Amino acid sequence: MTNQAEVATPARTYRGETAQARREQRRTKLLEAALDCFATRGVAHTTMRDICSQARLTDRYFYESFRNTKDAYEAVYRWQKEQLVAQVAEAMSCAPTTLMDQAEAGLKAFYAFLREDARRAHVLLIDGFTGAALPHVESAQEALAQYIPLIREAALRIYPRIKRDFDIDMMARGLLGMATQVGSVWARSGYAQPLEEVVSYNLYAWRGLNGWVQDMAAGAQAAG
């Protein structure tokens, strides 16, 4: 005989949806509303009431998902950053395995992601990198660290004999810093220049790096 205590109680539904599904829908609405508010008002000037008004939800539902506005900003930042990293990684995985092809694919994906939704640049670059973001949000250096493994993996795949003491992470930080600064300026201009032109500015630096790394790899091979 089945013990009734072992029988799972079905989730209660309202209009065919569980309470958990409705909570997730409200959280999604709040994230979208927060992204709108942060992009138009700036992080420092956005309040919980602004976000609730934009989402057309009461503060009760705001606190169901977030502790405060700082928490909401961090959630929006993570949400957009994870999408961006996934898009860049996908583009690089489909590109030929040369340094320039990998760089071009990654940069195009990065800038296309920003231009696709103008709100993203404000959250990820303008507030996220200029210090306008709230104090405990991860620093720009920590944010850049999310992309370093992609560059490290590509460099080691293309140049397996690269010198062991070559600091790939330091190189990556410099190139990523350039990409984010160019992206910030581009966003502030209203994406006035063609994407291909913006990518080309970054590729000048990558071409110099490509020649340097090839020389190092050749030297390491000759020494081995």
Instruction: Enumerate domains of the chain plus CATH numbers.
Output: 12-66 (1.10.10.60), 77-223 (1.10.357.10)
Per-residue pLDDT for 101 more than 50?
Answer: yes
Position 99, amino acid: L
| pLDDT at residue number 1 | 47
Helix (H, G, I), strand (E, B) or coil at 165: coil
At residue 106, the 3 state secondary structure works out as: helix
Q: Give me the pLDDT at residue 126, please.
A: 81
- The pLDDT score that the predictor gives to residue 143 is 59
Tokens of 42: 């700036």
Cα–Cα distance between 71 and 211 in angstroms, integer?
Answer: 44
Are 163 and 220 in contact by the 8 Å Cβ rule? The answer is yes
Are 38 and 127 spatial neighbours (Cβ–Cβ below 8 Å)?
Answer: yes
Residue 48: other Cβ atoms inside 10 A: 17
Q: DSSP state, 189?
A: T
Q: For residue range 63-92, list pLDDT tens digits in order.
A: 999 999 989 998 998 899 899 989 998 998
